[in-house]
Structures are given as C-alpha cells and as structure tokens.
C-alpha cells in the first residue's frame, strides 16, 4: 500500500468521523464521500487508537520491492 493511499484512508476516516459528529446518517455520509455504507459503519466503530494500530499493521505487512536491495543501496550511499 502506498503512502498516498494510506494518507487518503486517514483523511477518509477523519472525514467520516467529522460528519458523524454533525449527526449525518451513514447513508448521507456514504453519498457525500462516495464510499460504501459498510465502510462508513466500519470507520465509525473504530476508535482512533484502533485505527492507528490497524494502519500500522497494514503498512508493516506490505513488503516493498526495494527491500531486497536495501543493503546494496546503503553501501552505495
């Protein structure tokens, strides 16, 4: 998962929670943001710490193509 994708997920989670505090329904939030209602529900149920933990696990789980060459690159630098 790219950093841009992670940033967009964080922004979406934040926006869902902001709109929830404004008392919009799940359907209204989904329509406004162009996402599924299930995603809205999932984001609403997550506390900030849980969301951060989940993002961290997702980021660590993904291997980068350059990881195999990390030592080589460090030696060049």
pLDDT score recorded for residue 3: 64
DSSP 18-63: HHHHTT--HHHHHHHHT--HHHHHHHHH--HHHHHHHHHHHHHHSP
pTM, full prediction: 0.67
pLDDT tens digits in sequence order for the chain, 77 residues long: 566 677 788 889 999 999 999 999 999 999 999 999 999 999 999 988 888 888 888 777 666 777 778 788 888 88
Q: How many domains does the chain have?
A: 1
Residue numbers of the domain that contains 22:
3-76
């Amino acid at each position: 998962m790219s950093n841009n994708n992670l940033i967009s997920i964080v922004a979406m989670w934040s926006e869902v929670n902001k709109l929830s505090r404004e008392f919009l329904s799940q359907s209204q939030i989904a329509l406004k943001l162009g996402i599924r209602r299930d995603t809205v529900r999932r984001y609403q149920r997550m506390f900030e710490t849980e969301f951060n933990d989940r993002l961290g696990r997702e980021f660590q789980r993904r291997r980068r193509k350059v990881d195999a060459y990390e030592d080589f690159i460090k030696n060049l630098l």
